Amino acid sequence: MKIAKLSVLRPVAMAMVIGLIVILGLVSLRDLSVDLFPEMTFPIVAVTTSYEGAGPEEIEQLVTQPIEEVMSSLPNVESVSSTSRAGGSLVLVAFNWGTDMDFATLNMRERIDMVRDMLPEGVVTPQVLRFDPSMLPIVQLAVTEPNGDIIEARKLVENEIKPRFDSVDGVASVSIEGGAIKEIQLLSDPNQLALHGITMTDIQQILASENLNIPGGQIVDQNVNLPVRITGEFTSIYDIKSLPIPTTQGVVPLETLVDVVETLRPMNQKSYLNGEPSVGISISKASGTNTVAVARALNEEIEQLSASLPEGVQIKSIFDQSRFIEQSIRAVAWNIIVGSLLAAGVLYFFLRNFRSTLIIGFSIPISIITTFLFMYFSGHTLNVLTLGGLALGVGMMVDNSIVILENIYRLKQKGLSIKDAAIEGTSEIGGAIVASTLTTVVVFLPIVFVEGLAAQLFKPLAITVAFSLLASLFTAIIIVPLFSSTLMKDDVETTSFDHGFTRLKKGYKRLLEAALKRPKTVLASTGILLALSLAGIPFIGTEFLPAQDQSFVSIDVRLPDGTSLEATQQIIDEMDEKLVGISEIDLAYVTVGGTDNFTISAGSQTNRATYNLLLTEPGQRSRSDLEVAEQLRLRFADIPVADISVSSSDSGFTGDPISITVKGRDTETLNQLSEEVISIISKVEGVREASSNFTTGSPELTAHINRQTAATYGVGSAQIATTISNATRGMVATRLARQGEELEVRLIMDERYTDSVESLQQILIDTPTGERIPLSAVATFERSVGPSTIRRADRLREVTVSASVLGRDLGSIMDEIKVSLRDELGPVLPSGYSISFGGQDEQMIDAFTKLAGAIALAVVLVYMVLAGRFESFYYPLIIMFSVPITVIGIIFGLLVTFQPFGVGSLVGVLILTGIVVNNAIVLIDYINTLKARGLSTYEAIIEAGPTRLRPILMTALTTILGLIPLTLGFGEGTEIQQPMAIVIVFGLTFSTLITLLLIPTVYYLLDRRKEKKNFTAEAME
């Protein structure tokens, strides 16, 4: 090749070009963003709105359905689902993957403008929110105070810690949970107020009008403009107590009418760290920012804060995504280094030449740095998957360089000078390595067009591998000839290994001769091996993505709706006792009064609690997070009433492993069917924590107003509602600003008037005639169960049953579940009701279908590249025989490693499709070269096989050994690449061994048949 000749003859100029590339690559590495996974765009958009006071059925009919109808007609909509509950509506619109989400969101807002006039008066304008994984917290912290003073802890977080975190570059939001807040309560006695002829509303108005700082204009005094300011704000609780209130009994201080107490606001959420009261902080990063950089900046800010905070105040990290990212990237980087060293060891073992090994040693980092340059300009980030692609590419990176170096080494042994050997060796084999590189790169082209979550994850990996191979081609054609002509010695020494390898070549030659004498035996043996391997398919399970041990376990605790915070706290205390003795738990953080994720501002639910358990490092414990989670499930199994769900190894975007949706018209029927589904699937081995999202509603007290009676007293519904609200919730009358803090002043009725239904009924209400009547005179009170949540998908009501799996692969479990549901529930399923499967099972089937199509297209593209290289349809067909026999190694590898077949395995098959043909390309290319020199087919095969044995073995071994660390799963965060590595290592191993005999045999048979046809045609002429 001319470029190789230029590289050898112009070494200084070429060295400067290489140096420039290295500098640019290092600069780009510095600026590459570091994240856990690639930036992903999910085609899901939510429409949220609220309608105060409306029940779920009214919400469904008046709000949800109109929004669903206009959203269903949007282009590229895959599905529309909704949740209607008392006071609110949530509509989720899922678009097809690949949809322009900016344009889709704009269309949604236009449709909402069209339907807004159709919605009832009082409905809040619907909001459109795109689902973005970057909105999830990257860091969660817990702040504790030495004396357990949760008030001071909350004050510190609000006044000192949160403002510092808000100012950190890249932080999008900082939210606070838990802690106690002070307020001033004015406890009123209705009888006392009635005695003085004043109401709670009167007091509220007086407080609001007295607590003011207002401008009073300005005056001119001695030619100076003086603004006038009237100050009447309260500065202390004494000002409130002594506030004069005009009554029918005269002017009295406020404390005569109400009890003024400084206390804590009623808490509906508490947080604890290792049993100690704490305040939680959740921090989210801005979209597109560097996760690791933001987390590091936050950790630096924490260090600076720790020095200035009061003694004993601690800020503990309970979740830090950057920690897992750094562990994962460190593990993958270490695998790259180990793989590179193993590849260099293979080179030295075969060549026994330190300088030759050094040449390849230089080519690896240069190829990696060049890859970083490609990644930077293509907009990719450093993450677990792109670095995993680099780890996969390390073994393949040196293949091109090995083939060229070995050819230069062989020609030098024949007596050529170093420069001539470098030029001739590169030119002779250059076409073959360009073809082999293109066959490997071209297999990634179909995955660019694949849509779905799997493509979002693995597309960056595929592109990174392609970049690394293109970088290695550049290195092999330019740098290896340059370094060879500079670093290699003229003299060639023969070592004992050369003698040993000569004997190996002779042994292989004898095997090859035997194979060519009995070609049908070789084909039959290969066919038998292939058939035996295919028989092992039923014993291999399937999965979507492998679980990743992130040293984190979450526990969701749900009690019956309406359960008080105190009752939930009792359950948490019992669970805390059961956590004792589990050595793997490093930190235990719990929030009692878990936040409802229905909407951002939905508040909290006192019947829920959430545990975040931070485990010790994987290397410091003998059990995985899945095993710890299973132990926790067993310990919590005997806790009554509570519905406890334990999850681990959750990536956050793959959904529940098992998700079964029952659709139909009637909510109660759906509930009954979902209970039957839970009962059936719970019997399947490996299913854990099956539950449905059906909610029966929460207990409530309904006040029915007797309008006729109320009208005779001159009392309206609004006055009755206000009286009840003021009695139970109170009203914020004003605020007291004191020493840098602001306290709410809440006017509330004394608790003894609202501690029971009977007490509430006796509250007096004023009439226009001055008469005071009890609430029971104009309203009746009834205990009932509040309306449940209504969920719909594609305009049908639905209930979803979800579960996790343990100890078995997802595919086997789902096959058994589908059979059980068909046999037990299918015959009794009412008309108009259906069961569908979603979650990871749906994602897995979708990914398998699309990736299988990508593999089929990759095979076609590889064949087309080979046809273009050899300018023939005949020789590429022979080379393609090396592809199907990889199945033997793939199935064997998955069986012996007990690895289910998943999306990672399919991507490994895709990569393998482009790799396995390389050995056959190198072999057949040289056979054709020898035939062009006048040798017969048999002679060319017998000479080409042993001659190309060394580069074939070297390239195969470097790829295999380079992937050994990933195959063994060394380090955190490598679980997702392990299936790919297993498929490639075992597939390539078996394919290489079989190819060495099978491809020459097929070539010999077909070429002999071709010669016979040509001879027959010539004879007929």
User: Could you tell me the two tokens for 142?
Assistant: 């817990």
Among 990, 964, 981, smallest CA distance to 883 is for 990
Closest CA to 824 of 920, 684, 694: 684
Angle at CA of residue 888, ends 339 and 468, nearest 5°: 30
Taking each helix axis from N to C end, the angle separating 917-932 and 978-1020, rounded to the nearest 10 degrees, works out to 30
Q: Which of 1004, 937, 908, 927 is nearest to 389 (CA)?
A: 908
Cα 898 off chain centre by: 25
Strand ranges (E), 574-674: 585-592, 608-615, 643-648, 658-664
Q: Which of helix, strand or coil describes residue 727?
A: helix
Please choose, from the candidates 116, 124, 29, the residue with its C-alpha nearest in 3D space to the C-alpha of residue 70: 116
Note the pLDDT of residue 891: 92
The span from the CA of 992 to the CA of 181, in Å, is 70
Distance, in Å, from the CA atom of 688 to the CA atom of 459, rounded to the nearest integer, reads 32
Listed in sequence order, the DSSP H helices in 808-936 are 810-824, 839-870, 874-879, 886-896, 903-915, 917-932
Distance between CA 636 and CA 572 in Å, rounded?
A: 11
Distance CA 604, CA 176 (A): 13
Question: Tokens standing for 880?
Answer: 């393609």
Which pLDDT does position 654 carry in this prediction? Answer: 61
Q: How many CA atoms lie within 13 A of 381 on its CB side?
A: 19
Structure tokens at 105: 């969101």
- Helix locations, 196-320, DSSP H: 200-210, 237-241, 254-257, 291-308
User: Measured between alpha carbons, how far apart are the two ends of the chain, in Å?
Assistant: 42
Tell whether the torsion through CA atoms of 861, 866, 869 and 872 is positive or negative. Answer: negative
- Encoded tokens for 677: 């589904």
Q: Please state the φ and ψ torsions of residue 231, each to the nearest 5 degrees.
A: -105, 120
| Distance in angstroms (rounded) separating the CA atoms of residues 771 and 355 | 107
DSSP helix/strand/coil, 193: helix
Task: Give Cβ neighbours of residue 365 (< 8 Å, ≥ 6 apart).
Answer: none
Please give the pLDDT value at position 986.
92
Task: Collect all residues with Cβ–Cβ distance below 8 Å to 768 and sequence separation of at least 6.
Answer: 714
Considering just the CA atoms, what is the radius of gyration of the chain in Å? 37
| Cα 92 from Cα 845, distance rounded (Å) | 22
Closest CA to 949 of 990, 993, 901: 993
Q: Which amino acid is at 901?
A: F
Averages of pLDDT over runs of 10 residues in the chain (1021 residues) are 55 68 74 70 83 74 88 87 81 85 88 84 82 75 80 82 88 80 81 79 82 76 77 80 85 85 75 83 81 87 84 83 76 73 76 74 80 81 75 70 77 76 77 78 77 73 81 79 70 58 85 88 89 88 78 84 81 88 86 53 63 82 84 86 79 71 84 88 86 70 80 81 76 75 79 75 77 81 68 81 83 88 84 85 82 85 84 84 88 89 85 82 85 87 87 82 78 74 89 86 83 60 54
Q: Is the pTM of this model over 0.75?
A: no
